Structure 1
Amino acid sequence: MCNTLAVFELNKYNNLDFIDISLVDGFNVPMDFSPTGGCPRGIRCSADITGQCMSQLKTTGGCNNPCTVFKIDKNCCNSGSCRPTEYSKFFKGLCLGAYTYPKDDQTSTFTCPAGTNYMVTFYP
């Protein structure tokens, strides 16, 4: 099953909210996850990933994650150490700010001050 996820942790470390859009579990709907004020940047993934999905990952209504399809550590990051793969790079190329593999923290986790309000829009 493929799922686009809006992930958030509110008022965590240093009075910050941590937000991201995750494609680690695959992709099924375009999404915009943005603060409504008090924070300069939201995250948007509005590309037609389903329409451009690689044949190996294609599924009804979306694009599977490579771990589900191939079940190998290179794609699943079970060993605690992993790097981007051709599949995570495919997702990243279409949705630059999205979280695309389990260790993608540096480019895909965003912070806002605690108390920020957010709007999640599907099919922006």
Structure 2
Amino acid sequence: MGPNRLQLRRVGSGRGRCQTGDCGGVLRCTGYGQPPNTLAEYALRQFNNLDFFDISLVDGFNVPMDFSPTSNGCTRGIRCTADINGQCPAQLRAPGGCNNPCTVFKTDQYCCNSGSCGPTDYSRFFKNRCPDAYSYPKDDKTSTFTCPSGTNYKVVFCP
């Protein structure tokens, strides 16, 4: 498989390891996968009867993604299909993906633990390649999208 594909080795029924996004060796993940991983995030039937959705690179990037509404007159989909793994800065490189700087450096500047942080050169690397995706934790204004509740969605990995 190429560098933009998840690599899975079966070890037994219901168990296996992924090069990126691994969930402690179980195939039915009930928690968070190990970074780097591209995330599709959504909250349905929220404030003002809206669905909120985004693609997040806050945990890094491993596979390209398309997250699009398919009904309800909502047409604004989002994509992150850039060659982030191939262009990843050396300090953020990981097998099969590109880490977010918080994962690597663990400082408030990159993790936003104090509540006050802004974009960095590393977050701009992600944002320049995937303008619709979250690039750091406070990147709400350009990265959260809405549709009326009841909308159907399609999430495609490696479009």
Structure with the bigger RCO (C-alpha within 8 Å, sep 6+) is 1
What is the alpha-carbon distance in structure 2 between the residues aligned to residue 19 and residue 81 of structure 1? 23
How far did 1:63 drift? Answer: 0.2
Q: Within 5 Å, which residues of 2 pair with 1:8-87?
A: 8-37=42-71, 38-87=73-122
What is the alpha-carbon distance in structure 2 between the residues aligned to residue 99 and residue 40 of structure 1? 20
Unaligned 5+ residue runs, structure 2?
1-34
Tell me if the contact between 2:37 and 2:61 (Cα under 8 Å) persists in the aligned partners.
Answer: yes
What is the alpha-carbon distance in structure 2 between the residues aligned to residue 57 and residue 87 of structure 1? 9
What is the alpha-carbon distance in structure 2 between the residues aligned to residue 88 and residue 17 of structure 1? 26
Tell me if the contact between 2:68 and 2:75 (Cα under 8 Å) persists in the aligned partners.
Answer: no
Superimposed CA distance per residue, residues 23-69 of structure 1 (whole angstroms, 9 cap, x where no aligned partner): 00000000000001221201100111000100000000000010111
Higher radius of gyration, 1 or 2? 2
TM-score of the two chains, using structure 2 as the length reference: 0.77
TM-score of the two chains, using structure 1 as the length reference: 0.98
What is the alpha-carbon distance in structure 2 between the residues aligned to residue 43 and residue 49 of structure 1? 16
Q: Choose the corresponding residue for 1:106, options 141, 152, 157.
A: 141
Name the aligned partner's letter for residue 6 of structure 1. A
1:2 to 2:2 alignment:
no
What is the alpha-carbon distance in structure 1 between the residues aligned to residue 117 and residue 53 of structure 2? 22
* Partner secondary structure for residue 122 of structure 2: helix
Unaligned 5+ residue runs, structure 1?
none
Tell me if the contact between 2:69 and 2:151 (Cα under 8 Å) persists in the aligned partners.
Answer: yes
Name the aligned partner's letter for residue 93 of structure 2. K
Name the aligned partner's letter for residue 88 of structure 1. S
